[in-house]
Amino acid sequence: MKVTVNGEEIHVYEGARAGDAVRTYLSDRGDSTPLSSLHICDRWGNEIDHDGSINSGAQLIVTINTDSINLKTNK
């Protein structure tokens, strides 16, 4: 089925979950960002769990989850 991730159309298998679509998107781009550090929303801005179901034609927006980034500070 066809879905859109960050404006890019990709093909995933029927029954794929949001995380599967994002993994395919990242793989196609050669990106090794861990899925756990990403935030997935639908086209209306509603958060979608990585194991959330999606339908053909879904439009997903993926951003970095800044809460998952650990920054070291110098004191």
**Domain locations along the chain:** 2-65
The pLDDT value given to residue 75? 46
Rounded to the nearest integer, the mean pLDDT of the chain is 90
The pLDDT value given to residue 54? 97
Which two three-digit tokens encode residue 23? 């993994």
Question: Do 41 and 61 contact (CB within 8 A), yes or no?
Answer: yes
Indicate the residue type of 25: Y
Class of domain 2-65: alpha beta
> Mean pLDDT throughout 68-73?
51
Residue 66: pLDDT band by 50, 70, 90 thresholds?
confident
Q: What angle do CA 66, 67, 71 make, to 5 degrees?
A: 75
Tell me how far apart the alpha carbons of residues 13 and 20 are, in angstroms, rounded to a whole number: 9
> Mean pLDDT throughout 4-21?
97
> Mean pLDDT throughout 17-42?
94
Residue 30: pLDDT band by 50, 70, 90 thresholds?
very high
